[in-house]
Structure 1
């Protein structure tokens, strides 16, 4: 029986999309407005619609429909696909961990990401990870621009698909940013953070992550952490910040 829902963030948790990922917003801005964006906005841990909306707003653009903005971001990443493949990379251990969890009958494995679903699928397929997660059981930036609300949506979708009630006790969000931690805590999931992005291990633990791992290289440790007894480092003493 599938008893644990594991929800993965994508960028800097499973892979690095490199310049191609960063180019989505200026490319989309140019397509939507016919001009170059003179400045950028923060992106880490946010949804793509929220990032694009802020980028447009800070430059005084207020008449773009959400659907048009989403379509522009999808086109932008598709156009950057060659750069995504050549300059992006899968993070060490990501393939091994996803493969191990995919074959484990205890877990449902999906995504909780700020990426639009189409962009999430493209990123994972580019690096050979797409066949290892159930996209239908996850939640995406295209569902809601506020990440904490995505947790409950993924829990409902996974519950409907697998006949299990998923809640805070049996849902694990895996991410690398303080916003990932906040999404899990507010949305109703345990949080396993990986210190593979800009936020350090001590910051992630202080923000409320239940466990902080340095990376995904130790497949056995990752699987045990995600599908084990759920104890936090404060309770078990096994994991260090």
Structure 2
């Protein structure tokens, strides 16, 4: 059985080695998938180090993940009987790993909406990642974005009517739109985290992207009901929160 596990680890190592640049956005998804696969055979405590990899750069994250998998291979090689008894129970994977409590906040020019979302997340004892509030560490904007994006398990996009757009030569069809960076980041996180780990809030009469229809959009009403709806989405996605914290 240990040989099967070693083959799985070797495959994941190969996939990781094929990622050679920080422009490759597959690392967070690779880590989640690797943990999910191995947790069917290995006790969750032995995977916590991989789950908690969170350095300041993409390169260091990749290096740390490779080192941890290679160390795991050595342990399995040297102590196969012990590993089989401890990490290959008859009923594989009884527990779930706790997701990161970091949530990325995608926003436009509406500072009030951004602040309301961030403070709501903090009430739930989650870490709201707002790009401009994070340290630069000498990085460019895109490098800073990639660093912070790789650390989160969920993203909240806020669509606010910051821009106006219309088909060429048809100004009478003008509609309010979210900033282009918001739409770009929404697509980015939908790709690396999956749509189930992205929530979309909207404010006012803002245009909804046509190729993103079919998902749940949460209206930011003045009464604050959106906070409870968002919290339920976070809990459904597996984040460890207490809805009573909003009271």
TM range (shorter): 0.3 to 0.5
Q: TM-score under structure 1 normalisation? A: 0.36
Q: TM-score under structure 2 normalisation? A: 0.35
Larger radius of gyration: 2
